[in-house]
Amino acid sequence: MKIAFFDAKPYDKPSFDKYSAECGLDIKYFETKLNEDTVELAAGYDAVCVFVNDTVNAPVIDRLQELGIRIVALRCAGFNNVDMKYAFGRVHVLRVPAYSPYAVAEHTVAMLLTSIRRIHKAYIRTRDFNFSLAGMTGFDLHGKTVGVIGTGRIGRVFIDICRGFGMRVLAYDKYQAAGLDNGDTVKYVSLDELFRGSDIISLHCPLTEETYHVIDERAIDACRRGVVILNTSRGALVDAEALLAGIKSRKVGAACLDVYEEEADFFFEDFSGHIIEDDTLARLISMPNVIVTSHQAFLTEDALSNIAQTTVENIRSLVQNGQCENEVCYRGGQAEDCKSGKCF
Ligand code: NAD
């Protein structure tokens, strides 16, 4: 079985080589992303393996079908880059629902601590033998309130860590997790209450039509002055223009972004010798209280190993058994994990 692997990076190969060899899968790594222009590269392969910034829209799906390819194996959890409605009945879409919620939750906390304790500033200052503390005053996390939007796997690990710091948690989720609200340190509230009551807000929900720009101008207006916004989920959860305006007006105290709405044009590539065309991204990065990492929250050895193992197992399971427990399908008007394990 031959797999065309798009948007391949050097760190993908060791774990995928290991697990594919065990399963007898033959992987060809392409550095380019999958999109309408590059889909021809998949000719002669049995499946494509894609990541967060590959494009699996209707024209790509049509061409994959014409090439006889019926498997799109996502090596990530989110599937907002796939036209799931169009894919249903045409290609099997497999994903890795969980590979390490700890990796993403811990990166979120790393960004938060870096930001509020000015570690990014201190690192640069001390390398220049500048030992001044001017402008380095931070604040304690203990006793602060964190608003967590999305209390799934990652959100719950993040909440556990925050509770370790002695923080209060205001949570919001479309589907509340049983047993999480203890009526005291963790409470489910409405989105509006979360905005009004949180010192820090962290996003851990998927990107859907409902959650698109959940942090917009109105939300920022409702927030406390000095709110810290953390986004390690998906870029378009935050209206970047509204965030920038909030930073400029000093309403937003700090932002930590591992994802960005237009990241597909930049993230994972080296633009250090180029002039960045995206003024909003450039302006955000120029701010002393904004930290940007380029979608690296997942990037731990543990997560990479789990991603490769599950992706390879997903393909093997679908090919050998005709079904896969990690298939996503579009039934009843929305994309969700295929409950029967047999999508079509
Ligand atoms: P999950 O499915 O376990 O949890 C998502 C939660 O969001 C669920 O509890 C769900 O009920 C909730 N939700 C769904 N719709 C909602 C809505 N309209 N409003 C509020 N909550 C809603 O997923 P997870 O494993 O915790 O991952 C969360 C997100 O993290 C993923 O969707 C993905 O976008 C992102 N992610 C980012 C990285 C990274 O490297 N930065 C890595 C993995 C995942």
Question: At 213, which amino acid appears?
Answer: H
Between the alpha carbon of residue 298 and those of residues 107, 232, 302, 333, the distances in Å are 8, 9, 9, 30
**How many CB atoms are located within 10 Å of the residue 37 CB?**
11
Q: Rg (Cα) of the chain, in Å, rounded? A: 21
Q: Which of 75, 108, 173, 201 to mutate to test the pocket of ligand 1 (most atoms within 8 A of CB)?
A: 173
Let me know how many helices (H) and strands (E) the chain has, helices first: 11, 14
Q: Residues 193, 120: one domain?
A: yes
Contacts of 241 (CB under 8 A, 6+ apart): 280
Tens of pLDDT along 276-310? 999 999 999 999 999 999 999 999 999 999 999 99
Q: Residues 146, 184: one domain?
A: yes
Q: Which of 95, 203, 205, 209 to mutate to test the pocket of ligand 1 (most atoms within 8 A of CB)?
A: 205
Q: CB of 184 closer than 6 A to ligand 1?
A: no
Question: Residue ranges of the chain with pLDDT lower than 70?
Answer: 341-342
pLDDT of residue 182: 97
Q: Residues 176, 310: one domain?
A: no
pLDDT of residue 341: 66
**Residue of minimum CA distance from atom 31 in ligand 1:** 206
Q: Please state the pTM of the whole predicted model.
A: 0.92
Q: Residues 71, 201: one domain?
A: no
Closest ligand 1 atom number to CA of residue 258: 41
Query: What's the domain range around 306?
Result: 2-99+301-337
Note whether 92 and 56 are within 8 A (CB).
Answer: no
pLDDT of residue 206: 94
Closest CA to 77 of 56, 65, 93: 93
Q: Residues 206, 265: one domain?
A: yes
pLDDT of residue 35: 97
Q: Residues 95, 105: one domain?
A: no
CATH code where residue 215 lies: 3.40.50.720
Tens of pLDDT along 179-227? 999 999 999 999 999 999 999 999 999 999 999 999 999 999 999 999 9
Q: CB of 204 closer than 6 A to ligand 1?
A: yes
Asked whether residue 125 is assigned to any structural domain, the reply reads: yes
Look-up of token digits 């925050």: 162
Asked whether residue 343 is assigned to any structural domain, the reply reads: no
Q: Residues 39, 175: one domain?
A: no
Asked whether residue 342 is assigned to any structural domain, the reply reads: no
Closest ligand 1 atom number to CA of residue 234: 34
pLDDT of residue 344: 74
Asked whether residue 151 is assigned to any structural domain, the reply reads: yes
Asked whether residue 160 is assigned to any structural domain, the reply reads: yes
Q: Residues 174, 126: one domain?
A: yes
What's the 122 CA to ligand 1 centre distance in angstroms? Answer: 32
Q: Residues 174, 316: one domain?
A: no
Q: Which residues pair with 328 in a beta bridge?
A: 93, 337
Note whether 344 and 318 are within 8 A (CB).
Answer: no
Note whether 47 and 1 are within 8 A (CB).
Answer: yes
Q: CB of 197 closer than 6 A to ligand 1?
A: no
Asked whether residue 178 is assigned to any structural domain, the reply reads: yes
The count of structural domains within the chain is: 2
Q: Residues 184, 257: one domain?
A: yes
Give the integer Cα–Cα distance in Å for 40 and 62: 12
What's the 29 CA to ligand 1 centre distance in angstroms? Answer: 28
Asked whether residue 184 is assigned to any structural domain, the reply reads: yes
Give the integer Cα–Cα distance in Å for 225 and 238: 18
Q: Is 65 helix (H, G, I), strand (E, B) or coil?
A: helix
Q: Residues 134, 157: one domain?
A: yes
